[in-house]
Amino acid sequence: MSTRTGTVEGSEAGGVHVFRGIPYAEAPSRTGMFHPPVPVAAWDGVRSAQGWGATAPQTPYAPSHARLLANPQHPGEDILNLNVWTPDPGASLPVYVFIHGGAFVHGSGAVPQYDGTAFARGGIVTVTLNYRLGAQGFLHLPEGPANIGLRDQIAALTWVQENIAAFGGDPARVTIGGESAGAMSAAALLASPQARGLFRGAILQSGAGHHALPAETAHEVGHALADELGITPTREAFAASETADVLAAVKRLTLQLQTAPDHARFREAAANAMLFSPTIDGEVLTELPVTAAAAGRTADVPVLIGTNRDENRLFTVPSGAFAAADTAALHRVLRGLGFADPETAAPLFSDPGDRSPGAALTHVLTDWMFRIPAIRFAEARAGAHTLPTYMYEFAWPSPMESLGSCHALELAFAFDTLDAEQSSALTGPDAPRGLAADLHRTWTEFIGTGSLPWAPYTPENRTVEVFDTVRTTAVDPLSERTAAWRGLR
């Protein structure tokens, strides 16, 4: 297969051609780990694209989550690479570019749940990619460029525009998507003037338009990380530090942020319990993505957006926070998130199937981090857009460890990869294949056409398609709870 920079050789199985580890930018170790991506130089001969490319430096998931979430890591310098699945290199098919999640510090395009084979068999050319993570991708200091990780994603999308036709993809029909931090990245790309025209649709799974840091907050994170390393807060000092030392410092500071957050100093980062997010830098990202949506600056792109019913159980159950929560902790969190009368607000979050404080607390955190931002993004778009915003909820509860319909559970269903390595850790051994076929078919339809057979979400018609073993359509679900967040989130 010929690209603009050289020829690559992939593999074929079951009618799907797969190309792995294609570089879309030069190795940052050669061009500067804390510098924007540089276009990859041309090569001679045929480059093998049969094995996974190197993944971005990162620490493994904590043991409580490593057993639930696959996260393969592959060593090497050429970490800015992508993977392509195509059924027909001679065709002109819709393209799906998926951005992985992992709180901006974990993950890669090689996660087995993101295998693009099923999409390719359905006529969708599928791309997954690696981008710089943690400090290397999202450190923001007063000097030098910010949002290196977002710049990497934009470089990958530029590569797609220039090269995907050679793989059977239509560059005029590119849909971006992502889950968790990947969805937050997609929202940032929707708002970014530098990404305009690189895609024509977006799927946001469990991530929306609230998760970007003002420059002042991002500066505080950078200074705190420099203090943790004992270095001056400059790009040069970070670049001179050992990668392993930076990763260890990020891990320590993240733990502090999650267990004893300094809200006065870290503000949005503390509220979201994430050390890194895209930064409103005035260049790549000029405003909060939800603000850009309200101003109509994402008007030319249809969006499919949604969340899982019990998102935060992935974090509260394995960590023990679910079982340890009491009423005092629930009220403390509600007060910290702006509820003036926690005792009155608490019943709104009561779970009919589980009246424990842990269940209520998990609903509060799910709303704050995922559900309400998705609703606000849909509301913002509806007021200023002609192209539709469709909303879904994934409601099937996992039988594993009281996880319910937790964060990341829907991935193996959307990609139809229930048989992939480690999928059953979240789904259990007997996950409903009909649900996977339904969700995957919905994603394929949206990628192919930009439309879906249920009503778009508007403030007047709050239609949500609910995916479970029996699929239903709901109008304004949990309306009282949603209204309680007005003015707070």
Catalytic residue set: 180, 311, 407
CB 195 within 8 A of CB 189: yes
* Pair of tokens at residue 278: 């895209």
CA distance 196 to 190: 7
H/E element, 218: helix 215-229
Residue among 73, 267, 90, 289 at smallest CA distance from 178? 289
Phi, psi dihedral angles at 181 (to 5 degrees): -60, -30
* Pair of tokens at residue 165: 């036709």
CA distance 280 to 297: 15
**Per-residue buried b or exposed e for 263-296, using 16+ beta carbons within 10 Å of the residue's own CB:** eeebbbbbbbbbbbbbbbbeebbebbbbbbbbee
Phi, psi dihedral angles at 54 (to 5 degrees): -65, 145
CA distance 393 to 206: 10
Amino acid (1-letter code) at residue 250: V
CA distance 13 to 115: 13
H/E element, 245: helix 243-259
Phi, psi dihedral angles at 375 (to 5 degrees): -65, -45
**What would the 3-class secondary structure string for 370-437 be?**
HHHHHHHHHHHHHCCCCCCEEEEEECCCECCCCCECCCCCCHHHHCCCCCCCCCHHHHCCCCCHHHHH
CA distance 486 to 181: 24
Task: Classify the C-alpha dihedral 453-459-461-465 as positive or negative.
Answer: positive
**Per-residue buried b or exposed e for 215-224, using 16+ beta carbons within 10 Å of the residue's own CB:** bebbbbbbeb
CB 446 within 8 A of CB 304: yes
The total number of residues written for the chain in this structure: 489
